[in-house]
Amino acid sequence: MHPITIQNIILHPIALPFVEVLYTSFGGEEFKSAILVELHTSDGAIGWSEIVADVRPGYGSETMTTAYHIGQEFLLPLLMNQTITHPSDVLRLFKPVRGHHHTKAGVEGAVWDAFAKSNEMRLADLFSASLPEGHTSRGVAVVGVSIGIKPTIQDTLAVIQKRYDEGYRRIKLKIKRGWDVELARGVRDAMPHITLMLDANSDYTLADADHLAQLDAFNLLMIEQPLADDDILEHSQLQAHIKTPICLDESMKSAHDLRVALKLGAIDILNLKPARVGGFTQSLMMYQICAENNLPLWIGGMLETGIGRAQNVALASLPAVTLPCDISATNRYFDPDITEPPFVLNAENSTLAVPNGVGIGVDVIPERLAEAKQRWFDVHK
Ligand code: OSB
Ligand code: MG
């Protein structure tokens, strides 16, 4: 593989209407907000990526404004005119900047895409080539669907049925305090055999341990992030109280966090999101820890546009990703998306295919980018 030299990087704030708003314990948004990253190399390759910043600091602490500020003022200057021998160089180059994982991941991702394109390979194959032998991409990602908080159990059942009919074979429901045990019971009574899991997005405390233990009755695949977004210790204490496997999302921000969680017995399953951990280099380190420890692993989602979706599908196609991922088909999020072609669910086996093209394998449609950028400035002027 040959090196690339970074010539220019452009940040594009966008707003893209969601087909359906996803309500979580921290709220919901009408528009997908993101900052798209366009990176040009001296040999003419163009890498794309996406900073998954929200308008509000709900899931993570970053926002569109902090992402633009940190990206433009601090991260881009660290990359400009640099020659990159492998995209993992970026982690070292970003060392002077602490935190801001979403922003770092977004910018780093554009280097991965440009590097893959310049070397005429798929991003999924570049990931494989960056891992020890034996981690060849399977060419598909096994996926499920994440369903937001609805007003009633009946409404929730209707959406589950619709997604099930579309071919999704793993259902994740968002829960919050006061909307949990009855929901799980209602869904289990109506659909005893579906693969079901819950995501609490940090809404509980250890004082809720007995309450959460009631969820053990519903044969759940896992409960995701029940406790605080920065906690590891109390998750290990909760684990001793409940039988449902604990999956960590918000708390696992680095390979270091994952090692601590394993040591403390705080984690049964990892939800890995490149955006949360600061990029693909860190993600591949965590992927390897999962592989070495036989820790069940899946790739999470942040309602990404086609760009982030393509990256996530590439990562999810690696063989140590053992559980269905939160990466649904394009039509569940946007109509149209910013990229083509769309990701379409294969209903036979609940999968999305890795595109054949080089890099992320999808193309940004310039008119749609211009429109989404205009919309961002119209909505937030
Ligand atoms: O907690 O997994 C989460 C979306 C935004 C922020 C946090 C989460 C989610 C999802 C959606 O659950 C997953 C998807 O992209 O479909
Ligand atoms: Mg989650």
Q: What region does 182 belong to: left with phi over 0, alpha with psi -120 to 50, or beta? A: alpha
**28 pLDDT higher than 90:** no
Q: What is the mean pLDDT of the chain?
A: 97
For ligand 1, is residue 308 a contact (CB within 6 Å)?
no
Report which ligand 1 atom has the smallest distance to the Cα of 201. Answer: 1
User: Residues of the chain with pLDDT > 90: what percent?
Assistant: 96
**174 is known as an active-site residue:** yes
Q: Considering only CA atoms, which residue is closest to atom 9 of ligand 1? A: 302
Percent of the chain with pLDDT over 70: 100
Same domain? 346 vs 224:
yes
**Cα gap 258→249, rounded to integer Å:** 11
Find the CATH number of the domain harbouring 69. Answer: 3.30.390.10
Model confidence at 22, in pLDDT bands (50, 70, 90)? confident
Q: Which residue has the higher pLDDT, 380 or 250?
A: 250
Ligand 1 centroid–CA 4 distance in Å is: 33
- Does residue 141 surpass a pLDDT of 80? yes
Query: Rounded to 5 degrees, what are φ and ψ at 144?
Result: -135, -165
Q: Whose CA is nearest to atom 14 of ligand 1?
A: 301
Q: What share of the chain is helix, strand, coil (3-state, %, to 5)?
A: 40, 20, 40
Across the range 270-298, mean pLDDT stands at: 98
The model carries a pTM of 0.97
* 225 Cα to the center of ligand 2, angstroms: 6
3-class SS string, 8-64: EEEEEEEEEECCCCCCECCECCCEEEEEEEEEEECCCCEEEEEECCECCCCCCCCEH
* Residues 266 and 335 reside in one and the same domain: yes
User: 104 and 51, same structural domain?
Assistant: yes
Same domain, yes or no, for 172 and 155?
A: yes
208-250 per-position pLDDT tens digit = 999 999 999 999 999 999 999 999 999 999 999 999 999 999 9
pLDDT at 25: 83
Q: Are residues 27 and 108 in the same domain?
A: yes
Same domain, 70 and 136: no
Rounded CA separation 100/70 (Å):
8
Are residues 109 and 133 part of one domain? no
Question: Ligand 1 center to residue 300 CA distance, Å?
Answer: 7
pLDDT of 100 = 98
Tell me if 146 CB under 6 Å of ligand 1.
yes
Ligand 1 contacts CB of residue 33 (under 6 A): no
Q: What is the pLDDT of residue 381?
A: 74
Q: Is the same domain home to 101 and 184?
A: no
Domain extent for 320: 128-363
**What CA–CA distance (Å, rounded) separates 53 from 59?**
10
Does the pLDDT at position 26 exceed 90? no
Same domain, 135 and 74: no
Could you tell me the CATH number of the domain that includes residue 190?
3.20.20.120
Instruction: Report the alpha-carbon distance of residue 283 to residue 255 in Å, rounded.
Output: 8
8 Å CB contact between 242 and 209: yes
Q: Average pLDDT of 280-297?
A: 98
Look at the chain and report how many structural domains it folds into. Answer: 2
Are 216 and 176 contained in the same domain?
yes
Query: Closest ligand to 247 CA?
Result: 2
* Same-domain pairing of 194 and 288: yes
- Burial (CB < 10 A; 0-12, 13-18, 19+), residue 362, is buried
CA of 224 to the centre of ligand 2 (A): 6
Confidence of residue 272 (pLDDT cuts 50, 70, 90): very high
> Domain check: are 98 and 132 in the same one?
no
- Over residues 352-359, the mean pLDDT reads 98
* Alpha helix (H) residue ranges in 54-122: 64-70, 76-79, 89-93, 101-118
Tell me which of 104, 117, 172, 174 is the catalytic residue.
174
Instruction: Name the more confident of 14 and 20.
Output: 14
